[in-house]
Structure 1
């Protein structure tokens, strides 16, 4: 894996994950969405890795959920993480990929199934062109994906992950550390009712409002579920 770009997808088995969509659409529907989001996120990462001649791994927590994840995404290269801390999980995933010789690393979660593949490719381009780190910001104040040109645990430790303060905190830490940190065009994750409308726009082939105009990922499994 020496010098090649690497993608890491962080996930929990759908039956373990709890989402803020459950009170809105119900537990079973939220579980169904979590399953197809995971399948589409893996398909997205596989496509980007193939186009970039790179590698891709799925980092899952808890380790005991390996069978459920493997059933949903057969053939994926799975790496268990025993830590529950969001920051530490990302730090360890990045360290794992760099230890295997990755040239650049991009990490993402599985709640952005329509994230444009070309936007992730631009993230790798930013790292190759001199950025220490780069991100695809999320409309809710977080990040959809973060890329690193080298191990930078300082960008994970103590960060308020899964909050609207995340992007600002990473930006401030990068500035304090003197890092070249670049922000690409926005995309969105799927956490709230309004996000479902943005998701549908992407499935319809449209750029969701205030997001990158690049073509959204097809997200076939999600499209099939919602279309049904």
Structure 2
């Protein structure tokens, strides 16, 4: 299944003052940027560790010099995010990937507990189900995998709200597709979420 699956990581460069803005009241501009960078590097590392193909779908574009400042795996594929809302960006990247791969798994860079084992478990579900989701505790989702990219899964959704996963599940049901729903995990978006960071992350920010 390895060459049949592409993991697409949606990522923005963790620029100071623009990254993890909802964490800035707790961590400051620099602290929020550091955590955003740590989350991005960790997410890419976990995805690569699955042994599956991994693509970074990024903003700004891959040729921007900022990306060379991060120590990312040489094995990564790269693509640019489309100019649109998050849903249409995910749809465009997914449709492009499905020209080459049988199935796509979308993840972000907000969930430090999304391990290689959890990603592999999700991919395995696609052997029996049309779609797979790992919900986020805040009502979004941490991972979404599928074999077809239907526009309804990405259109007219209020992103970054508590209804994202529920609406997506309704859309999957309306298509008549089967869904494997896995255990929810925690994204790191708000100050209250910092308790779900791995041990040592906050303590090591100054080093």
TM-score by length of 2: 0.88
Q: Which residue of 2 aligns with 1:219?
A: none
Which shifted more, 158-167 or 14-23? 14-23
Give 1:12's aligned residue. Answer: 12
Q: Residue 17 of structure 1: CA displacement?
A: 3.4
CA root-mean-square deviation: 2.3
* CA 223–106 in structure 1, closer or farther in 2 if over 3 Å, else same: farther
Report the secondary structure of 2:49's partner residue: helix
Which moved further from structure 2: 155-164 or 140-149? Answer: 155-164
How far apart in 2 are the matches of 1:57 and 1:64?
11
**Which structure: greater helix fraction?**
1
Q: Does 1:41 align with 2:43?
A: yes
1:193 Cα deviation from its structure 2 partner: 1.6
Q: Which moved more, 1:188-197 or 1:112-121?
A: 112-121
Q: Secondary structure at the match of 2:22?
A: coil
* 1:83 partnered with 2:83: yes
Q: Which residue of 1 aligns with 2:108?
A: 109
Distance 1:226 1:115, change over 3 A: farther
Change (3 A) 1:34 1:23: same
* Shift in Å, 1:65: 7.2
Residues in 1 aligned to 2:2 and 2:19: alpha-carbon distance in whole angstroms: 33
Which structure 1 residue ranges, 5 or more long, are not aligned? 205-221
Q: Is the 8 A contact 2:139 2:161 kept in 1?
A: yes
C-alpha distance in 2 between matches for 1:11 and 1:46 = 15
Give the alignment partner of residue 60 of structure 1, picking from 35, 53, 58: 58
Q: Which residue of 2 aligns with 1:151?
A: 149
CA contact (8 A) 1:61 1:83 kept: no
